[in-house]
Structure 1
């Protein structure tokens, strides 16, 4: 949507979206004198007093754009002395809301969410779904190439600000252009933080939360098998077979988490596997079953799932970030195990 379209839609819908503003008077292109004018203003009558909401429209509710527009609005309004600064957008995310609060601005979005806090007036509406989803909002982040870069960022021991584009490209086998695209999107989302001398660090907590919520485990191909052996024996046989034949594998879900941060018992072994399935069935005497499986073999959607897999007691285990993502929306006690892993091992 263009800013003009957003403005028109807001003018026709704001009283229905926000009943507490039904008595507000809307003023287009409200003048602030020498400081210029804002896109629109809302005049509220509170008893004998009037309050002016000075509103600027943002076409894309990325934290970066909200911050820039919000700071500009604050400067124009004399740090709010001429009226309460408000951002209007099709949809404001949780990160966007946090940005508004930090700079001292409010917001109203066309999806029905709001945050206004001035004098004795308070309005907060949250949880309304995005009615104006853009297909390209997160493009470049959550695809196989983008995720390779995200894994590197999240798995760095410290915020290593010295890594340049070429080093990152060599480390995870992506193009320089892909890194630039990912970093630009992280900037827009407010997930890269200015540190020193123009260098930026990743807000790992927010990035992991965002990826967790967007992660789609079903992109993998899952095969279910039954073995007469017990879980520890199955996992050991897979490990020994893959080691002997040079096959890539990595335990994940509860099999992986049990070796990183044991939390709960489990009755199904699970492993990523990039070898011949028929040979595996024959070597381990497995039977493919529609239900009652005690072994799940995952054919990965991308080889990036093996990045920084670690050896734990002779078993290759998917890195903690990958294991966490796989577990978080998994059935049973997957989320509990995921959060325990995050608390004890990931710590972001």
Structure 2
């Protein structure tokens, strides 16, 4: 962790999400921050989740401002209940004073590294490899050939992606093998890359289905598909009332159509996309796509109701 960089990014994010500017002395050995007339002593931290909050809560002092790389939504709620002031690099924050109250939660992790087209890991085929690594526990330690089979890509693609992930600091490749360094950060950056690079290449088709709840009692695997999007998130969490559904796969759509009776409509409530993973990767998923894919679809939608469910998926299934 680079202390000054962490603090500067957190303060910049706070100004963006809450419109609150801070005063601080860059490079100070014991940094302090003035916010709305209150001076806080800065205490730096890595990612904070409920599992590692006990020591932070025990050692906190009223005059301290906890500045973290990321604070998960559940951790943010705990810190707020305990009256512990915090900021993170995504713009999440809790600050309370005589004339100040700020509470921001659920902001996704900002992209820390370039995910531009020159990076093989964030091109379409590279994103398939990253998705396989993130979804299948232990695949990071597998042979390149096995990874290629899971991801449905050429062997050379895996080689380039592993090199990128190592150079970008997501994983470490050494004599003892490959190990995760920043799996959560990679998941966040994959979600952004999926929307931009991979999703448009999945042959999207739109339809309208008259029955908005057609997906509730149907197992799409019987037709060679899996459920994604809002309907998939609703089925996974039981929390969302979906307005749209997404199906992934190259199954027998004609057979499915005889059941749900879709009509082509560019503004319809059903989107069908090709899948981009191998059969081994999805053998234990059930009727819904992997939570990482659901998260990527929802977190890239600006609707507040979907952002809230995306945060629930991240907290409950990805963190």
Same fold (TM over 0.5): yes
Rounded Cα–Cα distance in structure 2 between residues aligned with 1:282 and 1:214: 35
- Residues 323 and 161 of structure 1, relative CA distance in 2, 3 Å threshold: closer
Find 2:308's aligned residue among 331, 336, 345.
336
Rounded Cα–Cα distance in structure 2 between residues aligned with 1:266 and 1:182: 35
Rounded Cα–Cα distance in structure 1 between residues aligned with 2:231 and 2:31: 53
1:155 is aligned to: 135
Residue correspondence of structure 1 range 16-165 to structure 2 within 5 A: 98=1, 100-101=2-3, 117-118=27-28, 136-137=117-118, 139-157=119-137, 162-165=141-144
| Aligned-pair CA distance for 1:343 | 0.6
- Residues 199 and 101 of structure 1, relative CA distance in 2, 3 Å threshold: same
Rounded Cα–Cα distance in structure 2 between residues aligned with 1:223 and 1:267: 17
| Aligned-pair CA distance for 1:287 | 2.2
1:264 is aligned to: 240
| Aligned-pair CA distance for 1:235 | 4.9
| Aligned-pair CA distance for 1:185 | 0.8
Find 2:211's aligned residue among 229, 235, 238.
229
| Aligned-pair CA distance for 1:199 | 4.0
2:52 is aligned to: none
- Residues 150 and 202 of structure 1, relative CA distance in 2, 3 Å threshold: farther
- SS for the counterpart of 2:312 is helix
* Matched-pair contact (CA < 8 Å) for 1:224–1:290: yes
1:203 maps to 2:194: no
1:182 is aligned to: 161
2:317 is aligned to: 345
1:298 maps to 2:272: yes
- Residues 280 and 331 of structure 1, relative CA distance in 2, 3 Å threshold: farther
* Matched-pair contact (CA < 8 Å) for 2:205–2:271: yes
* Matched-pair contact (CA < 8 Å) for 1:255–1:271: no
Rounded Cα–Cα distance in structure 2 between residues aligned with 1:205 and 1:287: 39
| Aligned-pair CA distance for 1:269 | 2.8
| Aligned-pair CA distance for 1:283 | 5.0
Rounded Cα–Cα distance in structure 1 between residues aligned with 2:115 and 2:187: 21
- What is the aligned length? 222
1:97-116 deviation per Cα after TM superposition (whole angstroms, max 9, x unaligned): x5x44999x9xxxxxxxx95
Rounded Cα–Cα distance in structure 1 between residues aligned with 2:125 and 2:184: 21
1:250 is aligned to: 226
- SS for the counterpart of 1:304 is coil
**TM-score for the superposition, normalised by structure 2:** 0.56
* Matched-pair contact (CA < 8 Å) for 1:309–1:317: no
| Aligned-pair CA distance for 1:303 | 2.5
* Matched-pair contact (CA < 8 Å) for 1:309–1:319: no
| Aligned-pair CA distance for 1:234 | 4.4
**TM-score for the superposition, normalised by structure 1:** 0.52
* RMSD (Å) for aligned C-alpha atoms: 4.1
| Aligned-pair CA distance for 1:277 | 5.2
Rounded Cα–Cα distance in structure 2 between residues aligned with 1:190 and 1:102: 19
- Residues 215 and 174 of structure 1, relative CA distance in 2, 3 Å threshold: closer
Q: Which fold has the larger relative contact order, with Cα–Cα distance below 8 Å and residues 6 or more apart in sequence?
A: 2
The structure having more radius of gyration, on CA atoms, is: 1
- Residues 134 and 259 of structure 1, relative CA distance in 2, 3 Å threshold: closer
- Residues 305 and 335 of structure 1, relative CA distance in 2, 3 Å threshold: farther
1:325 maps to 2:285: no
Q: Which runs of 5+ in 2 are unaligned?
A: 9-24, 34-88, 91-113
